[in-house]
Structure 1
Amino acid sequence: MKNLLKFYLFLTAFLLAVNCVKAQDATIPKKEANFDLALGMGENSSFSYALSWNQSHGMFSSNKFRLGYGLRFSGFTGSELNYITAPADLTGDEATIDTLLISNPHTLGLSALINLQYQLSSKFKIGFNIDAIGLGFGSTSDGRFISSENTGQYPEMVKASPSSFNLLLVGDRDLGQLKSEFYVAYALSEKTWLRGGMDMTFTEYTTNQELTNANDRFRYKPVLVFLAVSYNPFN
């Protein structure tokens, strides 16, 4: 929450600065495509990375509001992370939320993404993107199952693997690994943009057996700060 507040303060200050900049207007293309490399960092040695391709299309006569789509390969790692009960029908009650402690998680995802963007000037733009549907994968890890209801009928140590299917359903109904970014971007050149902002890479593990409340899915929802470079070779 503190990281998110810092980002909103940063974004407000950034937009105020942009309003003070008298950048020369330039023709904004109707369609453009770029390749993007992003790296993020957060608490508990959390680290995210992503390589993506996306294409955007200008809307209305100005082309400043842009709608885009693409494909993103992403990864997430951390240290001693508590993954909590994931299914939406269980997260509404604290009594049905359990914990799976994974010492060294590493999850991967390959998903189609949606991108919304607004170009403030020839030098600045803001945007949001999110994974919509795809595949999750990664190595199997040992997890420590923590539950007040476990009186011996469930093992304390279980095997867990990254959930294999990613699907955006909004909130706790989401499945698998889904990455989203809120960002501001600055044009370093005609072809290259520098992006920065908040990265939320929600990751999920599925255990090799059902545990309390017939649940086998556990999710971790970090907030990270990221930087990225976007390059448009076709511009």
Structure 2
Amino acid sequence: MKNLLKFYLFLTAFFLAVTCVQAQTTSLPKKESNIDLALGMGENSSFSYALSWNTSYGMFSTNKFRLGYGLRFSGFTGSDLNYITAPADLTGDDATIDTLLVNSPHTMGLSALVNLQYQFSSKFKLGFNIDVIGLGFGSSSDATFISSENTGQYPQTLESSPSSFNLLLVGDNDLGQLKSEFYIAYALSEKTWLRGGMDMTFSEYTTAQELTNANDRFRAKPVMVFLAISYNPFTK
């Protein structure tokens, strides 16, 4: 994963160097809307997918700095993943962190997102987006509870389900499944963009009963690389 991150940083630096010497020949649109399909991969057979609708608006006279919003349906799967204690009031102390081993996790979310972009030219842009609020869902899964304090008062194997509410509160205060992407994008045509970069998805499960420290929420934070294709149906 570290090598992938280094490669991505190299690509970012390369594209920035190229765009710094390119002349701006085409005026940038004030408003853009697009449909976007993204697929990501990471360690432990981690896989993410997302379908979104995004609208962005150019700011200031150049329209290079862009703010936007959208709606995203996303999913995350993996294999034998460790989900650790999620609540922020417990994660600050190693003694209060437990582990939930989920054999075949599959969490999904439907959330509103915000998007920030800087468009260097008609061909290249750099951006970041993140889910803000929405709903989480997915299939229930049997999980293994791992805790040094479990001396029989808690079941070792128990049912868990994806957390049902997604809310961006920053860091470990977050709730549910939230996806964020840092990306570079290249225009294949006037209507079509190719995006690539880093995907961080917060995937969260809620157990059927409270466990140690009265906790029932566990989270995985995989970092993946992704590719996406964006299409603007309104570009003439």
Query: How does the TM-score come out when normalised to structure 2?
Result: 0.96
* Residues 81-120 of structure 1 mapped to structure 2, 5 A cutoff: 81-120=81-120
Q: Which residue in 2 is equivalent to 1:45?
A: 45
CA offset at residue 15 of structure 1? Answer: 1.6
What residue identity is the alignment partner of 1:58? G
For residues 202-231 of structure 1, give each alpha carbon's deviation from its aligned partner in whole angstroms, at most 9, with x where no partner exists: 100000000000000000000000000000
Q: How many residues align?
A: 234
8 Å contact kept, 1:204–1:220: yes
The answer to whether residue 153 in structure 2 is matched with residue 153 in structure 1 is: yes
CA change 1:192–1:69 in 2 (3 A) is: same
How far is the alpha carbon of 1:191 from its aligned partner? 0.3
The AA in structure 1 aligned to 2:16 is L
Q: Which residue of 2 aligns with 1:179?
A: 179
SS of residue matched to 2:116: strand
Counterparts of residues 1-235 of structure 1 (less than 5 Å): 2=2, 3-20=4-21, 22-235=22-235
Distance in 1, matches of 2:80 and 2:16, equals: 37
Q: Which structure 1 segments of 5+ residues have no match? A: none
Q: Which amino acid aligns with 1:80?
A: D
Give, in whole Å, the separation in 1 of the partners of 2:59 and 2:158.
50
State the Cα RMSD in Å: 1.1
SS at match of 1:186: strand
Q: Is the 8 A contact 1:131 1:178 kept in 2?
A: yes
SS in 1 for 2:79: coil
Over the matched positions of the two proteins, sequence identity in percent amounts to 78
Q: Measured at CA, do residues 91 and 4 of structure 1 come closer, stay the same or move farther in structure 2, by a change above 3 Å? A: farther
Q: Secondary structure of the residue that 2:12 maps to in structure 1?
A: helix
Partner of 1:148: helix, strand, or coil? coil
CA shift, 1:24, in A, is 4.7
Distance 1:56 1:162 in 2: 30
The aligned amino acid for 2:155 is P
Which residue type is aligned with residue 205 of structure 1?
Y
The alpha-carbon deviation at position 48 of structure 1 amounts to: 0.2
Unaligned residue ranges in structure 2 (runs of 5+): none
The alpha-carbon deviation at position 5 of structure 1 amounts to 4.3
Letter of the 1:54 counterpart: N
